Amino acid sequence: MTYLEKPIFLEGTVVHGYGRGKKINCPTANLNSPSLEEKLKDLGNGVYFGWARINNDENIYKMVMSFGYNVYFGNKQFTIEAHLLHDFKSDFYDQNLRLLVNGYIRPMLNFDSLEKLLKAIENDKSVAKIELEKEQFLKGQKNEFITKQI
């Protein structure tokens, strides 16, 4: 685990992805990658944690996200996939999503089985929940980037 010296700010429109997240109990909000890939190139592929806000929703959500090339599924395209740690009743495609990224959990890995991938994803969610309760990260909920009205 690595904490970022300064948070990374990402913003974009939620687009359709591969649809795999919903099938494995980890629905993701995918951001349009080409415009953001350059901003992330120095960080490296991996799983990260932080905060998210949809449009001007009054709620700010904990999130875990991956960006890069998902090696388990053999992705050839760079993706940015955020899993907001909340049970949403509907999709939010075409909505604005702001992500404040605080820390790095692990690299993107290939797994021997889907079961091992699912176990790692559940661990990533747990790590994000625990880390975001730390005082140094709680203030991220009040960061102007997240709280601003759009």
Catalytic residue numbers? 81
Q: Which residue(s) pair with 64 in the sheet? A: 49, 83
Q: Which residue(s) pair with 101 in the sheet? A: 8, 50
Cβ 61 vs Cβ 85: under 8 Å = yes
- Say how far apart CA 84 and CA 64 lie, in whole Å: 7
AA letter at 115: E
Nearest CA to 36 out of 58, 55, 14 is that of 14
Torsion of CA 128, 96, 46, 27, to 10 degrees: 70
- Say how far apart CA 112 and CA 150 lie, in whole Å: 43
